[in-house]
Amino acid sequence: MSRTRVSRNPIAFVSVVVLVCCFVILALTMLRLPDPNMRATTHHSHKLKIGKFGEMMMEMLPDYLAFTVFLPSEKAFKRDLRLDPSDSFVGEKMNDTYAVVSRVLGFSAVPRSISSDSVAFGKEMSYDSISGFVLHVSKDEDGRLVVNGVRSERVDLGRKGSVVHVMDGVLMDAEFRQSVQYDGEED
């Protein structure tokens, strides 16, 4: 008898449907299902070792926005910027290190996700970094990304919702490159 009362009363019927939907939504949020869009980039995140400077750069980015970071390798930081993890984080050098790393982040980060699969072989794509520096991204015959002439070492690493490509060099404009060069430099 109650079944006929609910089906005849539209207010009672809508209330039951809304109640069932609320329970379904509550159950799904309690399960905390993974975001299907993040599945492709997060499976590498537990293996990602990017060094002290890379960690410093990634900590500067917000967690809630997607970025692509063309992150210099540890040897690129040492070779191109003369930054050594053993002495760059002590005393007054810490402020200088932070300034250099944050400037490099401005040249290296793009406010969108760019996976290596989205770059076609032989086609160059241009993106503006967060500092406005134009990055020309292409893929070489080995399947590695090339950004402004700098080749990647590893690609498509996930970190805090961002895509990280480890590069064998530092992306920077000519003015910044000149400011970090030293007088005794052989290069």
pLDDT per residue as tens digits for the range 64-110: 888 999 999 989 888 888 888 777 777 777 888 888 899 999 999 99
Element (H, E) at 71: strand 68-72
Q: Point out the least confidently predicted range of 53-57, 82-86, 155-159.
A: 82-86
Is residue 152 within 8 A of residue 165, CB to CB? The reply is yes
Q: Which fold has domain 38-180?
A: FAS1 domain (2.30.180)
Q: Which of left, alpha, beta for 2 (phi over 0: left; psi -120 to 50: alpha)?
A: alpha
Residue 129, classed as helix, strand or coil, is coil
The pTM for the full model equals 0.68
Mean pLDDT for the chain? Answer: 81
pLDDT at 2 (0 to 100): 55
Kindly list the domain boundaries of the chain, sorted by start residue: 2-31, 38-180
Q: Which helix (H) or strand (E) holds 156?
A: strand 150-159
Beta carbons of 78 and 180 less than 8 angstroms apart: no
Q: What is the pLDDT of residue 38?
A: 41
pLDDT > 70 fraction of the chain, expressed in percent and rounded: 83
List all residues 6 or more positions away from 96 whose beta carbon is below 8 Å from its beta carbon: 88
User: What pLDDT was estimated at residue 141?
Assistant: 86
Q: Which two tokens stand for residue 95?
A: 């402020």
